Structure 1
Amino acid sequence: RVGMAAQGRRRMLLFGDSITQFGSKVDPLGWATLLQDLYVAQKRSVDIVNRGFSGYNSRWGKLILPSIIEEHRSSPPVLTTIMLGANDASVESCRQHVPLQEYKQNLEDMVMMLRTSWPESIIVLISPPPLDAATWDANKGGVGSGQRELVRAEMYARACAEVAAKVSCPLLDLFSILHKEEGWERHLSDGLHLSASGNKILFEVLIEKIRNEFPSLSDETLPMDFMYHGDIPEDDPASVLGKR
């Protein structure tokens, strides 16, 4: 699993909705940005590829996943995260809503697609976070208010966990991780998306999971892409820099 991708540097793929897409923000500092800082800026070992699609649910995500798989066909990711469900959990009248059983089937189908296409890639399911409906509705200014509820977010988070158990897929239960804390609402920037603290928590628990369960992909284990500049022999750099 630690071998270099078929072409170029190793990569990790983050697939999901706006909580993944916004993970590449710098204000608030996103979880994908923190991953990039660690694996690219500090360690120079893995590229972080963000494929988050704001507003998408699992139904639409499943439809675009084959294109993403094809995009990385020659260089499969060493690890892929899937975080969908926040939009699926909208009330039935919302166009983004996906029924619970279909959501579970969609997640299962996507895991199987990835396993078939990238058998060496580790897949991690991440549950949708809790929802602060009052803050979300207030930020929406009354437009589309009442379409999201904490109890529904919890239902879909539990469904994600059930799928992970069924298909023996590693799980990060972001809902439970955040919701168990007193004042958990502070981990959401607008009631739905992660704040700086929420992003930091997701980054930290994901790194902890990688280090503990997949140590070969840990930032502490993976070798640097090409050698440290101080080790390059001055008399014959081509002897060590001709290939990875």
Structure 2
Amino acid sequence: MDKFILFGDSITQYGNEIVDGFALQPELQNAYIRRLDIVNRGFSGYNSEHARLLLPKILDAELNETRDNVKLMTIFFGTNDGLVGVNPIQPVELSRYKENIEYLVELALANNIKPIVIGPSLHDYKLGAEHFDDLKDTEAATCERYWHYSEGAKSICHKLDVPFIDLWEEFRRNGGWTIEQLLAHKKDSPVAEVSSLSSYLNDGIHFTPKAYKILHKAILKTIEQNYPEYLPENLSFKTAYWRDINPKDPSSIFKEEKQLYL
């Protein structure tokens, strides 16, 4: 079976966990059942520096001999890269982050994979401080900082002509906020009008089902606009419809199903 790899940090890893009846990976797998296998390669706490070490090994494990069976891959790093002043392991300077995203995209392209880069989303300093000891008394995860990382990833995608999901902007539009409001979303800002991002972020960083639904919709929209041949409805089932199986030849199951049956 051909594959669609979700590659990222904890937000990708936790996309496998069903909360309130929804999870990103199962939802995608349901859409692509018998067409593409959805492979979750999310690594909680990892950054783009770790990703450039991991991806060659992941591809060695997942690709076939002709290196043409991984069709799509999301690349979603930046949340840990963009942290500042919390620990020596996770933060990555913006310039290096951009270099890493470029490396990951080029490696995907070199292996016949259609990449989709996802930029880091909005973050809530106050919620983060409530849930993580590392984030207390700092502004390590602000909307302003992640806007710069999102824009950095976007610039690389423009350079390489690959699709980019501006999740920061997707959340902003969904919430009805102005850019000015979000860039001022700090504990001491008198102009900030955004009281909380808790409907999108359960702890200031990680996604609620509402946020994952926005991401899910954005992924399918991006595929439709950039790689329409890989929309679920444009892919054949990898085996025959059961009524088309020749009872005298069970191997006829290996004929691809060209049309969907009810």
Structure 1 length as normaliser, TM-score?
A: 0.88
| Distance in 1 between residues matched to 2:86 and 2:247, nearest whole Å | 67
Q: How many residues align?
A: 229
Q: State which drifts further: 143-152 or 198-207.
A: 143-152
The residue that corresponds to 1:194 in the other structure is: 207
The residue that corresponds to 1:113 in the other structure is: 107
Aligned-partner SS, 1:78: strand
| Distance in 2 between residues matched to 1:195 and 1:183, nearest whole Å | 18
Deviation at 1:213, TM superposition (A): 2.3
Q: Which structure is richer in relative contact order (CA contacts within 8 A, separation 6 or more)?
A: 1
Deviation at 1:155, TM superposition (A): 0.9
* CA offset digits 1:165-198 (Å, max 9, x no partner): 1111111111110122327821222211111011
The residue that corresponds to 1:65 in the other structure is: 55
What amino acid is aligned across from residue 65 of structure 1 in structure 2?
A: L
| Distance in 1 between residues matched to 2:202 and 2:231, nearest whole Å | 29
Q: Quick one: which of 15, 19, 29 aligns to 1:23?
A: 15
The residue that corresponds to 2:232 in the other structure is: 219
What amino acid is aligned across from residue 234 of structure 2 in structure 1?
A: T
Q: Quick one: which of 34, 38, 41 aligns to 1:51?
A: 41
Q: Quick one: which of 143, 159, 163 aligns to 2:156?
A: 163
Q: Quick one: which of 92, 98, 101 aligns to 2:92?
A: 98
Kindly name which structure, 1 or 2, has the bigger radius of gyration based on alpha carbons. 2
| Distance in 1 between residues matched to 2:253 and 2:241, nearest whole Å | 11
Using a 3 Å threshold, how does the CA distance of structure 1 residues 213 and 169 change in structure 2: closer, same or farther?
Answer: closer
8 Å Cα contact 2:163-2:226 kept in structure 1: no
The residue that corresponds to 2:260 in the other structure is: none
Deviation at 1:110, TM superposition (A): 1.2
* CA offset digits 1:58-102 (Å, max 9, x no partner): 111111111111112315410111000000000145321100000
Deviation at 1:233, TM superposition (A): 2.5
2:157 paired with 1:144: no
Any gaps of 5 or more consecutive residues in structure 1? 1-8
Q: How does 1:30-45 map to 2 (within 5 A)?
A: 30-40=23-33, 44-45=34-35
Identity within the alignment, %: 31
What amino acid is aligned across from residue 3 of structure 2 in structure 1?
A: R
Alignment RMSD: 1.8
Q: Quick one: which of 165, 172, 186 aligns to 2:165?
A: 172
Structure 1 stretches of at least 4 aligned residues deviating more than 4 Å after TM superposition: none
Deviation at 1:204, TM superposition (A): 1.0
| Distance in 1 between residues matched to 2:229 and 2:93, nearest whole Å | 37
Q: Quick one: which of 82, 87, 90 aligns to 1:89?
A: 82
Using a 3 Å threshold, how does the CA distance of structure 1 residues 242 and 162 change in structure 2: closer, same or farther?
Answer: closer
Q: Quick one: which of 114, 117, 124 aligns to 1:122?
A: 114
Q: State which drifts further: 170-179 or 21-30.
A: 21-30
Aligned-partner SS, 2:116: strand
| Distance in 2 between residues matched to 1:157 and 1:242, nearest whole Å | 44
Q: State which drifts further: 177-186 or 205-214.
A: 177-186
Aligned-partner SS, 1:79: strand
Structure 2 length as normaliser, TM-score?
A: 0.82
Aligned-partner SS, 2:37: strand
| Distance in 1 between residues matched to 2:83 and 2:42, nearest whole Å | 18
